[in-house]
Amino acid sequence: MAKPRTNDGTSHGPSQRQLRVGELIRRTLSEVLARGDVHDPELNRLSITVGEVRTSPDLKIATAFVLPLGGKGQEDVIELLSRNRAELRRILGRKMALKHTPNLRFRLDETFDQMDDTRRLFDQEAVRRDLDT
């Protein structure tokens, strides 16, 4: 089935290839961080969740959405990952069967905060009353 296209001819959302590569990078990066394969003791002492990886259409850039376990030290995690991005890219390149390993970017994963906000919204009396009718 063809993807819907906008008026300018571009498609909506990521391609199957982007989704597949993003998930491969997410799983591999999660494994590398969990095993402590990086030569940075500060990074290895942290538990980091990799929630999602989005790739650019040309697969040259991968943005990893991460969150430290417990949510504390978020800015430190981004700094440590950014500082070690070259080594992480080398490790990913060795572990994955990709022609080219994308450049890595790291962003805070805010989906958990959004889910909490949504739960709070649904817990409001007025919203529950509207949903019951």
Q: Where are the domains of the chain?
A: 16-132
Task: Output the six-digit token pair for 16.
Answer: 């199957």
CB 52 within 8 A of CB 14: no
Least confident of 11-25, 72-86, 105-119: 105-119
How does pLDDT run across 61-109, given as a tens digit for each residue? 999 999 998 778 888 999 999 999 999 999 999 999 888 999 999 999 9
Q: What's the pTM value of the predicted model, to 2 decimals?
A: 0.75
Q: How many helices (H) and strands (E) does the chain have?
A: 6, 3
Place domain 16-132 in its CATH homologous superfamily: K homology (KH) domain (3.30.300.20)
Q: How many CA atoms lie within 13 A of 77 on its CB side?
A: 22
Return d(Cα 88, Cα 104) in angstroms, integer: 8
By the 10 Å C-beta count (0-12 exposed, 13-18 middle, 19+ buried), 51 is classed as middle
22 confidence band (pLDDT: 50, 70, 90)? very high
